[in-house]
Every structure is written in C-alpha cells, then in structure tokens.
Structure 1
Amino acid sequence: MTAPMDAPESSQHADPEAAARGSGAANRSLGQIAWQRFRRDRIGMAGGVVVLLLILVALLAPLLASWFGSPPNQFHQDLIEPLTGGVLRDPDDPAEGIDPWGGISTEHLLGLEPVNGRDLFSRIVYGARTSLLVATVATLVCVVIGTVLGIVAGYFGGWVDVAISRAMDIFLAFPLLLFAIALVGVVPDGAFGLTGNGLRIGVLVFIIGFFNWPYIGRIVRGQTLTLKEREFVEAAHSLGAGSAHIVFREILPNLLTPILVYSTLLIPTNILFEAALSFLGVGINPPMATWGGMLDNALRFYTTSPHFVIIPGLAIFVTVLAFNLFGDGLRDAFDPRSSD
C-alpha cells in the first residue's frame, strides 16, 4: 500500500513547474498566443517585415529621393540619346552607344527612364506612396461599410438581412472594372472641392471601397450569425443589455480578428486594381508617379530598356506577395484550430 501512496507524493513535488507552465499558457491573451504563433511563421514574419519597409519607404519618399536620387519629375535629357530615347552609356562620348542597364549608377540606383531621363528610384518610392495611399484608404472605406452592414444584416435578420444580402449580390455581380474605366474617364477637372489627381484619387477610393464592401460584408454577416447564438450574447440578453451594447461590446470585439486578417488580404487586391487602371491610362494622371503608369510607358521600350519594365513590375510583385504572405500568417496565427 506504500507504493501507490508514494507516487502521488512524488508527482506533487514534480508538478509545480508544469502547473505553472500550464497556468501561464492559460493566462495568456489571444493576442499573446497569436503573436507567439506568428513569430514561429518565418514566411509570415518575412512578409510583415517587407510590408513595414514598404510603409516606411512610402512615408519617407521625399527624404529617400533626395538622398539616393533626384526629384521624381526632374528630366535628365543630357543623359538620353535623342534618336532612340535610350540612356547613354557615356554622356561625354555618345559614340559609346546605349547602356543596356539603363544608366544604373551611384547617382541613379535604378537607372533612368528612356526618352525623358527621370530617376527610376525616385519614381518607384513615390509610386509606393501613391499605391499604398489609394489601397489603404479604399480598404478602410470597404471595411467600414462592410462591417456595419454585415453586422446589421447578421444581428437583426429578417427583412433587413434579406435587403442587405440582395444588395451584396447586386454589387458582386457589378462589372467593376468597366464601371471604373467609364467613370474615371469622364471625371471633370474639378468637383467636390478637389482638382486634378486629388479628385482622381478620391474617385478611385470611392469606386474601390464602395463596390468591394460585399466581400468583407459576407464574412462579417456569417460570423455575426454564429456569434449571436453564443452563450455570452444570451447572457447579455438575460441581463437586459440593449442591441447597441451587444453589438459594440459583445459581437464587434470578436470580429476584429477576421476583419484584420481580411484587410491585409484586401490591400494587395486594391493595389493591383489601382495599377491596372493606371496601366490602362484611366487612373492617376501623369506626371504623378504610379507603378501602373510606369509599366504603361515601359511597354514601348521593353526591347531596348528592359529594366524599365522589370523594376516597376517587381515593385508590384513584391508588394502584393508580401501583403499576401503577411495576411496568410495572421490568419494562421489567429486560427483557434492551430496548435499552440
């Protein structure tokens, strides 16, 4: 009878550290658990680092352009061969011919554009500012509209749910690209107190945000339908809480994770949409730097100046890939079915 009594006693001496570890894990918040999972995801972390660097580049674009290049709209005609528009290998000796690397040097880190000789590095960093501005603001508009209407549809149900759901179906069936081309193409020079590219950016934000909200609206509606049947919502009902309290204090905090994750996946889609419109010539007007506009100009010189096509194309590719990897990492980190 002594052996069975000794085993629990020894386990009692051996278990406090395990119990402390278990209690520490149990006391961690969802954010702490998600952060630990995300740190172990090297691909997601790499995407997050690139996203952070892109944001810093966009914010510090004027400073970076002054340090490592020249103003984005400054022409360097003395470095351009007048007949072909290519960048000279040696401006002091035009007989040296065209530089296949586009004039990459310590003064121009990514070379120069053909014909006009604008600094590619400066236009890339300013293009990052344009793309991230349009995509981020449009995503914010999309998230606000989709979250509000999704919660209203999922929580109240009935004819409200039917009306909002049918509106979602209509917006999802709308030919957004054709509408954007038609609308941006007829935008006047000034309206609503805005002029020029300021007005065009506002129109792009409106089109992308207003017509893309059903995607996140459907996700929020589905999550709300599930959450409103949970025990904590029923407990709030039994305590006499009103609809506003339940929506803002009980349901909305539990929706922040899917909203955050979907937002990071929506931003690259909006970047591609803005680049597509600029590529088609109905987005941001020149001379304002945009990656899509740079690609549009580069198509005429892809045989003689391939760097002019590759550099803005890589900028779009790296940005979209980084946001997608970052969003996938966040989704896995906040997934309750993931192992700790």
Structure 2
Amino acid sequence: MTRHLEPVVDESLGDLLTRIFAGSWISLLIAFGATLLSVVIGTVMGVVSGYFRGWVDTLISRLMDIFLAFPLLLFAIAIVGVLPDDAFGLTGDWTRIVVLVFIIGFFNWPYIGRIVRAQTLSLREREFVDAARSLGARSPHILFKELLPNLVAPILVYSTLLIPTNILFEAALSFLGVGIRPPTPTWGGMLSDAASKGWYQTDPWFMIFPGVAIFVTVLAFNLFGDGLRDALDPRAR
C-alpha cells in the first residue's frame, strides 16, 4: 500500500522557523571566520607584494594565480567528505566548522590580496611614504604604520562583500551533504532535505523559508557593503 508523502517529523511552522534561526549561527560563524582568515592573509600578502615589488611581487602574484585556479569546491567536498568526526582535538560539529573555516578562508585570500596589492602600489608613491623614508623609517614601520591605516577602508568594504560569498559556499556544501551533519540544522541542509525527501511537494515552506533566509542574508550584506563603500569613499558617489 502506497503511503502519501509526509514530512519526516511533524514540524509546525514555528518549529521550522526555530530551525532556521538555530541554523543561522552556523552559516554566520563559518562566513565570518573564513572572511577574517582571508582578510588577514590577503592583507599581509597584498601589502608585501605591492610595497616591495620586484621578484617578491612576481612570486606572490603567481601564487595568487595558482590559488584562484584551484578547484576549491571539489577540494572541499573531498576533504570534508572523508573527515572523521574527531580530529585536531575537536569533536562533533566543531571539527567540520574549523575545517570549513580554514578551507574557505585559506583559498579565498587572493581576492582581497589583489585589491590590497593594487591599493598599495598607489599608496607607496605618496608623499607621506617618501617622508617616512627620508626620516629613516624601516620597511616594517612603513608597512604597518603608514600604509596599513590607509588601507582600512577598502579592506572593510571588500570584507563585507566577501561574507555573503562564504555564506553561499557553506550552504552549497551543506546542500551537497558534506557540510555540518544532521541533526544540527543548517540552511543548506534544510534545502537538501526538502529536495531529496520530497517534502516540498506537500509542504512548500520547507524549501521556501530556508531559501528566503539565505537570500535575505546575502542581499543584506551586499547592500551593507555597497553602502559602506559609498560612505568611506565619497568619490564613488
């Protein structure tokens, strides 16, 4: 006898919204952690590359090209898919959270690294850098005391634009089944359950609400990044 398709659990609308809010911290934690790692690596590499130029710039630029050509999605699926539950002294969801933050953040730093490098190439020719050199300032002082404070604005702007990209990447991994494992709720995992188990045929909100949560969050960070760029750079208005 064929049974009608029903949700696996008798989830009410309130239960579904609770899982969406509970799953938001996973997406935001991974996105913010990966963005912070990308910003730190990309800023250091970009400033060093743009300031010293020459063979240092060539080496770091080629390294950026290699990372940009790397198949990140396939690599993340391969690594996270075979990752044991207990690794690196961590247990449960924290193992996958740390690994995802590292993979996404470490392989995405060239995006902000190129922006920082281009800004550094322009700033190193300014008068205040020449003045610091004439006063005997060493390279580390010029890099972190003179150049870096002038790079805060573009770094903040592109960081806010990198966060939604990382949210989508984490949701894609969870949708493919290699992200955070159930029963911990994630937006991508909820979409995967609704699609693979056919819940959307009887209860469409199982797919609509997680999709709307991802859409609204990504849109909010994109709009925030655009507004921050206009506020910090009046010439862009």
TM-score by length of 1: 0.66
Contact 1:265 1:324 in 2 (8 A): yes
2:114 and 2:176 map into 1 onto residues whose CA distance is 30
- Which residue of the partner structure matches residue 132 of structure 1? 28
- Which residue of the partner structure matches residue 231 of structure 2? 333
1:144 and 1:338 map into 2 onto residues whose CA distance is 25
- Which residue of the partner structure matches residue 271 of structure 1? 167
Contact 2:43 2:112 in 1 (8 A): yes
1:295 aligns with 2:191: yes
Contact 2:5 2:202 in 1 (8 A): no
- Which residue of the partner structure matches residue 95 of structure 1? none
Match of 1:226 among 122, 130, 135: 122
Aligned length: 230
Gaps of 5+ in 2: none
2:160 and 2:146 map into 1 onto residues whose CA distance is 24
Matched ranges for 1:302-313 at <5 A = 302-313=200-211
2:8 and 2:180 map into 1 onto residues whose CA distance is 21
- Which residue of the partner structure matches residue 116 of structure 1? 9
More helix by share: 2
Deviation at 1:117, TM superposition (A): 2.7
2:55 and 2:40 map into 1 onto residues whose CA distance is 22
Deviations 1:95-146 (A, max 9, x none): xxxxxxxxxxxxxxxxxxx211341121111111111000000100000000
Q: Classify the secondary structure of the residue corresponding to 1:281.
A: coil
- Which residue of the partner structure matches residue 158 of structure 1? 54
Q: Classify the secondary structure of the residue corresponding to 1:190.
A: coil
Q: Classify the secondary structure of the residue corresponding to 1:302.
A: helix
* Identical residues among aligned pairs (%): 73
2:236 and 2:56 map into 1 onto residues whose CA distance is 35
Contact 1:181 1:282 in 2 (8 A): yes
2:90 and 2:18 map into 1 onto residues whose CA distance is 26
Deviation at 1:85, TM superposition (A): 5.6
1:314 aligns with 2:212: yes
Matched ranges for 1:229-268 at <5 A = 229-268=125-164
Contact 1:85 1:115 in 2 (8 A): no
Contact 1:274 1:292 in 2 (8 A): yes
Deviation at 1:328, TM superposition (A): 0.7
Q: Which has the higher contact order (CA 8 A, sep 6+)?
A: 2
TM-score by length of 2: 0.94
What is the root-mean-square deviation in Å for CA atoms of aligned residues? 1.1
1:330 and 1:159 map into 2 onto residues whose CA distance is 35
Q: Amino acid of the residue matched to residue 218 of structure 1? A: R
- Which residue of the partner structure matches residue 212 of structure 1? 108
Bigger Rg over Cα: 1
1:311 and 1:187 map into 2 onto residues whose CA distance is 30
1:220 and 1:324 map into 2 onto residues whose CA distance is 20
1:140 and 1:335 map into 2 onto residues whose CA distance is 22
Deviation at 1:189, TM superposition (A): 2.2
- Which residue of the partner structure matches residue 87 of structure 2? 191
